[in-house]
Structure 1
Amino acid sequence: MRDPFQSSNRKRRTIRLIDIDSWVDTGLFRTGRFIGAKIEAFSVFMRRFRLTGFPRAVSEVGSDALTLGLGGAVLAVALALPAFDATRNGWESQGDYSVTFLDRNGNEIGKRGIKRKETVPLEEMPDHLIKAVLATEDRRFFTHFGIDVPGTVRAMGENLRADAVVQGGSSLSQQLAKNLFLSNERTLERKIKEAFLALWLETNMSKEEILKLYLDRAYMGGGNFGVEAASEYYFGKSVKDVNLAEAALLAGLFKAPARYAPHVNLPAARARANEVLTNMVQAGFLTEGQVIGARRHPANVIEQTDTAGSPNYFMDWAFDQVKQLRLKGDRSLTVRSTVDLGFQKVADEAVETILREKADVYRARQAAMVVVEPDGAVRAMVGGRDYGESQFNRATDALRQPGSSFKPFVYATAMMNGYTPQSIVRDAPLCIGGWCPRNYSGGYSGAVSLTTALVKSINIIPVRLAQAIGRDKIVETAKKMGLTTELLITRSLPLGAAEVKVVDMAGAYAVFANGGYKATPYAFTQVMNSRGDVLYDRRKDAPPPERALDDTTVAAMNEILSQVPEWGTGRRAKLDGIKTAGKTGTTSAYRDAWFVGYTGNYAAAVWMGNDNYQPTRRLTGGSLPATIWNQVMTYAHAGVPVKPIPFVEPEDGDSDAVVAEAETPEGGEDVRSAATLSAAATAQLIRLEELMRSARPLRPVASLAVPRPIGEIGLAGADPATTNLPALPDAR
């Protein structure tokens, strides 16, 4: 028997663990006491430097300033990174392209880019031209670091005093940064990027190089970029030979080329030149005696063909598209574009006429429009009301909410997930969390078909559909159809609470017009170098079109959207004798108004609103945008064979043209079925069915001894006060 008092291995292991634990505890205690002693010693040492009174206040302010400065530096870096992305990918060489644009018929319509042989070295430009530009645009250009702080403060003070923007505080470097990398959109984000890019220019380029780039690339009116092109255009001479009066006129164009362009408004141009001369005197560059001659003998301009009708917005967009090809070698290019000058002129005139007549009534100051063929070829583009006043392209760069014109993406997704135009969905109050959407009319229609819901633009139905099929699927469909902007998945997405571009909307609706294939808008079909060699040919180099929607979905959507101009919200867009389809859109507070529609020949998107997002005066998509769309598309279809909308019965007026190839067989029997109902008749039957479904049952009349005809019983037995007929709201 083992001695119970004999030690065991387990006992020894336990003792060793206790020893280790004791050693660790002792070590931690001693380490903590050592650190505490050191901290106490450091505190005693630092007491020698304790400040009181004014020195302490200065020290604390300096410490706080250092902390805020470090935080500001981190924030500045975060804001600067997106701006500096624009300086990558060889931006300087890309800008050196020289592109001559031809319209779809091969006629020259304009140029973009810079020709090296047309530039003039800075040292060869007249001294009075340089002084005129600096005196007017940036007097402290050679002394500031890219941002003119005193000038910015002065401009802010003047603007606050006038309660309006009367002076610009941007330095010449900032203006160049905007011209090279950014758009003209008036946003805080753009101003921040502009400031950082100006600092980047000042760091990477000399003052002379910045000034030279500015003089070469600024827009000078009449479709001209740079002082050399403007001098040739207005005076018929090189910029090296301009006199003081002519230099003052050129310097006055930088502020507002359209307003002061001498070929458009010579008196205004001369008045502006006179202001430039005054600026030169105030800046100390010249004396009053030196400018008196230029005041008495203002500049004259030569007569030239007016290029006011040039598709400048389109050419800017097309120029960007050319640069994205990244063609190597010869940079002097000739591009055969897709634009049709006839379309372009009509589109420009329609937009300007409507805005001139109705802008004050509806408080809508801007509009944009894009017309494309079903494959995506852009025939006309209106990027704004006045290119000279603002080169910001609202058709390709502005992000606006589409409102109800987004709903076709919801319905198309529903059609791909088992729904049909005849599917019934209930229009009744609905809340998702704390969000409760409402119909434009304020009421509800009960059980309605998807056809009626979309034609009358009922809001509740697409929200219910999104709940059933999933908002992520809607986003996927919109992307497949051509929307390029990021679509946030929110509860209000089915009602158009997203940001889209006009050009993307035109291309997306073209999917319906071409039978379901993605139709990315494109600007040109051919690119040639200076020797005539074809560098790009769309017929060979473009990828084949992708299928975006299946035939069943296209047929269902075209069936519905072709009824919107018939008895829905887009009646003003209906074309005489031509089958028309489309959708209106109006956003909250009437900030955006849309009509996007199509025929078998073309698709077009029209947007109206304000650059500053101010609400309009109850402007809806079914009013002015639909009117503009109608005017342009009426011209587009004049004298051309009318193509059918896929899977939709044509109008009576164009049925001969559409079915001309369907020959009648021998015997004279027409192959077309006489039993086929028109789209309008089908819509009326659907409405009648909805009324019958939603009506309350008739009350029996017990006092009648003799049965009466059913029609009489219906009239006598139905109580008008209690019969629940659904109201069809006049939605947007």
Structure 2
Amino acid sequence: MSGNGKKRSPLVAEKRYAADAPKKPAPKKSARARKAAKRAPAKRRGPIGLLTAFIGGIFRAVWRLIWGGTAIVCIMVGLGVFYFASQMPPANSVIDGRARGSVTLQDRFGDTFAWRGDQFGGMITTETVSPHLVNAVVASEDKRFYRHIGLSPRGVASAVRINLRAGRGPLSGNGGSTITQQVAKLLCLGTPFDPNQWESEAAYEADCRRTTLWRKVKEAVYAMGMEVAYTKDEILTIYLNRAYLGAGSRGFAAASERYFGKSASDLRPAEAAMLSSLLPAPSSRAPTRNLEAAQQRANVVIGLMEVQERLSPELAADARANPATLSSAAKQDTGGYFADWVMASGPEFFTRNTTEDVNIHTTFDQDIQASAEDALTWVFENKVKAGSEAEAAIVVMSADGAVRAMVGGRSAPNPGDFNRAIQARRQPGSAFKPFIFAAALEMDFSPNDYVNDTDMCWSTPGSGDWCPQNYDRQFKGPVTLTESLVESRNIPAVILSENVGRDIVRLVAEGFGIESDLADGPALALGVSESTLIEMTGAYAGILNGGSAVDPYGFVELEVAATNEIFPALAGGIKERVIRERSARELTWMMSQVVERGTGARAKIDGWQIAGKTGTTQSARDAWFIGFTGDYVTGVWMGYDDNSPLSGVTGGGLPADIWRETMTRVLDGQQPVPLPMQGPGNQLRRSDPNFQPGVAAPQAPAPAAPESPNDGAILDVLNNILNNAN
């Protein structure tokens, strides 16, 4: 074939068969692109599409923000947990967190009767305590303790729901805290007590218990830090040692000794359950306040232990059948007023502000205290009208001033309550008169000397004439000193005081321990100067012991528990002589006649010699009876706190009844002890008309008493006055 001379491009299949050639497949899409295509919404036109796109954008932005914020919070929490975990001290170094020590008060026989300060029974661990205690605490406080990381969201949600239903705020009331969170609170989130920042340990603890949102957040982070730093048993050990369980008990070891008198390792299920039930409200739930209620709450804990299989059904049944009971020491609800008095009178750095654990040995007698309290209750229940708000106080002491019992009011006290036995300053009335007769006898008057009971007035500067009256509004003429004391006649007492000399009377009263400011005028003789019951009772003890002053005391010695170092009392007991022994014996005889046949007759106890004196003040605002046997001096005061008049009460009435009921119980089963007294015999002496009107002349002063080689400064003053007068 011939061509035309032009070159042609070669024919290929694609061109030749273009209509029939297969199409080239499109490239495949990736899996991500396919998913995005599925998620992509169909494009919409108009306002609805725009609005939907806008809302979707906001939602995606918020979602990213939430996830981002959550991540940031988690990082911050993690850093906080790491920080707190790294700062945790060794677990055994935070076992005893007390800022002050404990004070254990023991009676004259060495038995414990009261506790003050913060009691700590020594370190215990989950291995050394009774396993029933561990199970009771976990069952009642945090059943998921061994499974959570320090927080229980379920518990928090439940607590918030309970609080809201009760009308409280979400954080008020139930907290839903785990044991770990409770330990965090006990450790105050790692903030130690600083006396320069907080006024007291109580203020520090109150600040640690504050509930705010930020504090709850910090508490949660701190709790998780503890879970990182400590084992579960270490956390529970801290809790067992630091939890407050009422009555000053810090930790379960102290509480076990306080309530049951036994080690925490020996607790029965019923006892462990009772202690665990105290944790939510230790002060109000203390078994010493209401044992029956405490036993009922313990049964609830026993039920929880049984349901959670932490106590077998057999042991649970036995625990319900044999509930926990208090030890004999814990049952003794006596001595609170005495304990407060001793705490106030001891060295401050070893009592009120002690940082050591100390034991204080005292003069206290629990049996005598119980006798006084029982007597007071009996008299008010049987001889005082129902609803009376009258108060009373009792002090019982030995002749050397050792206080054996003290009742500061009708109600059992809380620490720091007003103690009428030592704090109430009241007028003693005729109970002051023995000091007048003591001064007269010391100047060698005789109990048989006469004084004229007649209508008399005394002029007082600025007040005009003062004309006292006897209680019976009568005048008997010449009466012996003994008769005037037996019948508590006012006019003879004033006449005698004026003629002996107010300064001498004041000197004798002060010598016997009356520290109050004594009146300057003639009314001094009628007991218008205020005094306390313990002062007056101590002064009468000086008469019983033969004329020597006493300093009432209850503190004997103090022992530091850690070192067994002993610190004896620095004061208390018999002091210098005030009057001669003969004068004291004669005065005792005169006062015994007050009980035998005078105003104090209602204080009689068959078979016993008793001396005493009644006292009733103006308008019967105060009524007293102070008396003594051969061994004990007991003072009783009765009145109203607001100084209102008593209705139909005198010192020879209800106070004498209280005295008799007290001493009848105290002396029960004992052999009578005679009084150290000396009567005047049959010697009778009449008034000397040349002496000042109304009183008999004294004999010449006797030489220094041979029976008393240590007469003391007061006797020297009296002898000098007498010598100068002669």
User: 2 CA distance for matches of 1:516 and 1:408?
Assistant: 12
Aligned residue for 1:263? 291
Aligned residue for 2:487? 456
Aligned residue for 1:304? 326
1:607 maps to 2:637: yes
Task: Select the residue among 385, 395, 398 that pairs with 1:360.
Answer: 385
1:426 maps to 2:455: no
Task: Select the residue among 211, 217, 224 that pairs with 2:203.
Answer: 211
Q: How many residues end up aligned between the 2 structures? A: 459
User: 2 CA distance for matches of 1:362 and 1:457?
Assistant: 31
Does structure 2 retain, via aligned residues, the 8 Å contact 1:570–1:626? yes
1:584-619 residue CA offsets vs partner (Å, 9 max, x unmatched): 111112111111001211111011112121211121
User: 1 CA distance for matches of 2:275 and 2:102?
Assistant: 28
1:594 maps to 2:624: yes
User: 2 CA distance for matches of 1:319 and 1:414?
Assistant: 39
1:113 maps to 2:117: yes
Q: CA deviation at 1:98?
A: 2.4
Does structure 1 retain, via aligned residues, the 8 Å contact 2:553–2:572? no
With over 3 angstroms needed to count, the CA separation of the structure-2 counterparts of 1:414 and 1:339, relative to structure 1, is same
User: 2 CA distance for matches of 1:596 and 1:369?
Assistant: 10
Does structure 1 retain, via aligned residues, the 8 Å contact 2:453–2:479? yes
Q: CA deviation at 1:244?
A: 13
Alignment of 1:434-449 (within 5 A): 434-449=465-480
1:626 maps to 2:648: no
Q: CA deviation at 1:365?
A: 2.3
Q: CA deviation at 1:329?
A: 9.4
With over 3 angstroms needed to count, the CA separation of the structure-2 counterparts of 1:109 and 1:226, relative to structure 1, is closer
Q: CA deviation at 1:634?
A: 2.4
Alignment of 1:283-362 (within 5 A): 303-305=325-327, 306-323=330-347, 331-360=356-385
User: The residue matched to 2:291 in structure 1 has which SS?
Assistant: coil
Aligned residue for 1:38? none
Q: CA deviation at 1:414?
A: 2.0
Task: Select the residue among 513, 523, 527 that pairs with 1:482.
Answer: 513
Task: Select the residue among 407, 415, 418 that pairs with 1:392.
Answer: 418
Does structure 2 retain, via aligned residues, the 8 Å contact 1:98–1:331? yes
Alignment of 1:267-286 (within 5 A): none
Aligned residue for 1:498? 529
With over 3 angstroms needed to count, the CA separation of the structure-2 counterparts of 1:591 and 1:208, relative to structure 1, is closer
* Uncovered stretches (5+) of structure 2, i.e. residues with no partner: 1-98, 124-149, 161-167, 169-193, 209-243, 266-272, 299-322, 460-464, 687-726
1:548 maps to 2:584: no
User: 2 CA distance for matches of 1:468 and 1:621?
Assistant: 27
Does structure 2 retain, via aligned residues, the 8 Å contact 1:330–1:530? no
With over 3 angstroms needed to count, the CA separation of the structure-2 counterparts of 1:264 and 1:440, relative to structure 1, is farther
Q: CA deviation at 1:499?
A: 1.3
Larger of the two Rg values belongs to structure: 2
User: 2 CA distance for matches of 1:362 and 1:480?
Assistant: 41
With over 3 angstroms needed to count, the CA separation of the structure-2 counterparts of 1:210 and 1:499, relative to structure 1, is same
Q: CA deviation at 1:541?
A: 7.8
1:224 maps to 2:247: yes
Aligned residue for 1:153? none
1:139-184 residue CA offsets vs partner (Å, 9 max, x unmatched): 9xxxxxxxxxxxxxxxxxxxxxxxxxxxxxxxxxxxxxxxxxxxxx
User: 2 CA distance for matches of 1:248 and 1:352?
Assistant: 34
With over 3 angstroms needed to count, the CA separation of the structure-2 counterparts of 1:329 and 1:353, relative to structure 1, is closer
Does structure 1 retain, via aligned residues, the 8 Å contact 2:600–2:614? yes
Larger mean Cα displacement after TM superposition, 331-340 or 587-596:
331-340
User: 2 CA distance for matches of 1:640 and 1:450?
Assistant: 33
Task: Select the residue among 510, 520, 537 that pairs with 2:551.
Answer: 520
Aligned residue for 1:416? 442
User: The residue matched to 2:674 in structure 1 has which SS?
Assistant: coil
TM-score (norm 2): 0.54
Could you tell me which amino acid in structure 2 is paired with residue 408 of structure 1? Answer: P
Q: CA deviation at 1:334?
A: 1.5
Q: CA deviation at 1:203?
A: 12
User: The residue matched to 1:457 in structure 2 has which SS?
Assistant: coil
Aligned residue for 2:213? none
User: 2 CA distance for matches of 1:603 and 1:96?
Assistant: 37
1:395-437 residue CA offsets vs partner (Å, 9 max, x unmatched): 1111111111111112112222342212211111122233211
Aligned residue for 1:661? none
Aligned residue for 2:689? none
Q: CA deviation at 1:231?
A: 8.1
With over 3 angstroms needed to count, the CA separation of the structure-2 counterparts of 1:543 and 1:505, relative to structure 1, is closer
1:6-34 residue CA offsets vs partner (Å, 9 max, x unmatched): xxxxxxxxxxxxxxxxxxxxxxxxxxxxx
With over 3 angstroms needed to count, the CA separation of the structure-2 counterparts of 1:252 and 1:310, relative to structure 1, is closer
User: 2 CA distance for matches of 1:577 and 1:213?
Assistant: 58
User: The residue matched to 1:508 in structure 2 has which SS?
Assistant: helix
With over 3 angstroms needed to count, the CA separation of the structure-2 counterparts of 1:578 and 1:320, relative to structure 1, is same
* Uncovered stretches (5+) of structure 1, i.e. residues with no partner: 1-94, 132-138, 140-201, 271-300, 650-675, 688-732
With over 3 angstroms needed to count, the CA separation of the structure-2 counterparts of 1:324 and 1:578, relative to structure 1, is farther
User: 2 CA distance for matches of 1:558 and 1:494?
Assistant: 19
With over 3 angstroms needed to count, the CA separation of the structure-2 counterparts of 1:585 and 1:114, relative to structure 1, is same
Could you tell me which amino acid in structure 2 is paired with residue 631 of structure 1? Answer: E
Does structure 2 retain, via aligned residues, the 8 Å contact 1:402–1:498? yes
Does structure 2 retain, via aligned residues, the 8 Å contact 1:223–1:312? no
Q: CA deviation at 1:487?
A: 2.5
Does structure 2 retain, via aligned residues, the 8 Å contact 1:370–1:605? yes
With over 3 angstroms needed to count, the CA separation of the structure-2 counterparts of 1:110 and 1:222, relative to structure 1, is farther
With over 3 angstroms needed to count, the CA separation of the structure-2 counterparts of 1:302 and 1:584, relative to structure 1, is same
What RMSD, in angstroms, separates the aligned Cα atoms of the two structures?
A: 5.0
Aligned residue for 1:373? 398
Does structure 1 retain, via aligned residues, the 8 Å contact 2:274–2:297? no
User: The residue matched to 2:619 in structure 1 has which SS?
Assistant: helix
With over 3 angstroms needed to count, the CA separation of the structure-2 counterparts of 1:482 and 1:532, relative to structure 1, is farther
With over 3 angstroms needed to count, the CA separation of the structure-2 counterparts of 1:339 and 1:205, relative to structure 1, is same
With over 3 angstroms needed to count, the CA separation of the structure-2 counterparts of 1:324 and 1:512, relative to structure 1, is farther
Q: CA deviation at 1:250?
A: 5.0
1:401 maps to 2:427: yes
User: The residue matched to 1:483 in structure 2 has which SS?
Assistant: coil
With over 3 angstroms needed to count, the CA separation of the structure-2 counterparts of 1:397 and 1:208, relative to structure 1, is closer
User: The residue matched to 2:331 in structure 1 has which SS?
Assistant: coil
Does structure 2 retain, via aligned residues, the 8 Å contact 1:215–1:227? no
Q: CA deviation at 1:204?
A: 6.8
Does structure 1 retain, via aligned residues, the 8 Å contact 2:100–2:354? no
Could you tell me which amino acid in structure 1 is paired with residue 346 of structure 2? Answer: V
1:572 maps to 2:602: yes
Q: Which has the higher helix share?
A: 1
Does structure 1 retain, via aligned residues, the 8 Å contact 2:551–2:574? no
Does structure 1 retain, via aligned residues, the 8 Å contact 2:107–2:366? yes
Q: CA deviation at 1:565?
A: 0.6
User: The residue matched to 2:496 in structure 1 has which SS?
Assistant: helix
User: 2 CA distance for matches of 1:394 and 1:467?
Assistant: 32
With over 3 angstroms needed to count, the CA separation of the structure-2 counterparts of 1:614 and 1:548, relative to structure 1, is same
Q: CA deviation at 1:459?
A: 0.6
Q: CA deviation at 1:441?
A: 0.1
User: The residue matched to 1:511 in structure 2 has which SS?
Assistant: helix
Does structure 1 retain, via aligned residues, the 8 Å contact 2:118–2:250? no
With over 3 angstroms needed to count, the CA separation of the structure-2 counterparts of 1:268 and 1:504, relative to structure 1, is farther
Q: CA deviation at 1:536?
A: 3.1
